[in-house]
A and B are shown apart, each in its own frame.
Chain A
Amino acid sequence: MSVERALEGTGTWLDDRLHGARGARVLLRKVFPDHWSFLLGEIILYSFIILLLTGTLLSLWFQPSMTDVIYHGSYVPLRGVRMSEAYASTLNITFDVRGGLLLRQIHHWAADLFMAGIMAHMIRIFFTGAYRKPREINWLIGIVLFTLGLLEGLFGYSLPDDLLSGAGLRILEGVIQSVPLVGTYLAFFLFGGPFPGHVIIPRLYILHVLLIPGLILALVTAHLFLMFHQKHTQMPGKGRTNTNVVGAPMYPYFMAKTGAFFFFVFGACAVAAALVQVNPIWLYGPFNPVAISAGSQPDFYMGMLEGALRIMPAWQWVVFGHTFAFNVFVPGLLPLGLLFTGAAVWPFVEQWITGDRREHHVNDRPRNAPARTALGMAVITGYGIMWAEGANDLIADHLDVPLYWITWAARVGIFVGPVIAYIITKRICLGLQRKDSHLIEHGVETGIIRQLPGGEFVEETRPVDDERLAVLTSRADLPPLPSGETTQTDVPAPGMRGGLGRVRERLYKVVTESVPVASGHNGHGDGRAIEGNGHEGNGHEGDGHDRAAVGSGTSSPDAEDGHA
């Protein structure tokens, strides 16, 4: 009772000052749709919180200084060795602070999880078309967050000033230096003079602990606010439309579930940190510009850049006394540049091609947008090949394959792989659409064979249940192109003239290629109807029939039965 009184008292006190009852009530009852893939975004948020917690603790001991010191700490093999204060303090955190190694490892695993979460979340958003209007802004914020995450990870990885991270910084310097016109200057400004200098660690530190996390926090807040304001998308299902949200209320369901999920994410990081060693900097030794270790690898999210550097042939121009180091700045800037730019403009390109400027709140099933899904798979394949090439030496070592073969395979694969992935994915999507169509039209096979009086054997089918039918028929019909161009008799509509119009027309055909939506025979009405084995001859499944159903997108139960 007293708790209730206290709560009510607090609530009243707050409401008297904030006038929050109405808004807070709406908030408590806010509906959150449920799907496992919606958890991916939460992984990112929670690993970010874990990063803030562990990072704050680590900063109590870490010394972002490049001053030379002689190590006298607990780690015997490095006693008496000259190293930077940054490296020495990292050793100190590891071996002389209780729980320090755990904090470091949780921090590192959470960072990896953060980046992995971003990638998985982006892939989910892309394949389900959740970036479509009105969520383009959030998609763009997400891309910026991805970029910031890459930088944050790279800088944080560099802070301990161990041999591996120093080699990473050296590579960064080489890449920056290769940029035409301004590269040398940029490198000198960043490093405060020639590499390695004495300022890079303190500079990266303040970027890593203040500027970038601040930006990330601000953008995450904006991201979540927009998500809240626009309401979550939902997966297709019975009763789910573009004008509603179906799910469980935030209070108490979502709050409890998401709280549990935070503990899961934190627990997973703790398990990894307890059992799986990550970045054992004491084994690498302090940075010095002369040493390197074989098989050195960056964190996984930088692997794609590393692979791009390895894959690139040795091309370079020297023109009028200036060097264009294509071998470095092309792989350093182009792949990620293409990826981020492409991702950023895609929602708008897709809108331009399809002319679809409606709001979408029900997600696409990936199969229902074959071109988009195929494009996504092509990008993932290209990314994956570059990423794997980033470990070409390890692959060569473990699989006992000549190193250069792998690089050559990647050089070819980077062009061929995405094309193959595109074609195969598109075929698979269209095949799955056909399967859906078949289910809608003919129902589910029951495995019961019945003999007709005439001697013919047929299999019974049963209609798809409503929930499933709603999913199967969820494909959104796309609006036709501005009239004129499809009939090919008229003058093209405005916006469809000239070269750009023709490009759009062709792209429209590619993007909208789909198997016609079945009109929903669904087991032929009574659900016990009999499906002939040789139904091709029954004349109700011909092309003409299916075409008539294009774009209907609805599932009006159709009792008409061609042959029963």
Chain B
Amino acid sequence: MHYIVIIGGDKLENNTQVLKGILEGCILSIISKEETYGYELLITLKTNGFKDMVEGTIYPLLLRLEKKELITSKRREEQNGMTRKYFYITEIGEKELNDFKIYWDKLYVNVNKILKE
């Protein structure tokens, strides 16, 4: 996966490619820890600081991750009769997550270096 950094406006808005790439990494990381469904994923992201996030932001990302076979999903009926889609990480996803961690560590160090100069 290539994380393309495109900052297309004056400010870094929620829909920029860079944020999508980072969010994909975060989602993979959350799913790798335990099976989860969309709303739970959203709550985890919100409690970790992504306060403006809505389900609509993460849904297309989940579709993309699933299409790239980094995650798989299974529909399960809950006790209240609602159907929920649970996500699981795949082997390719695990590998991708490791690549993302390396990428992020480098990016974090480089950006901080420049900002502190």
* Pairing of A with B: no
**B interface residues with partner A (beta carbon < 8 Å):** none
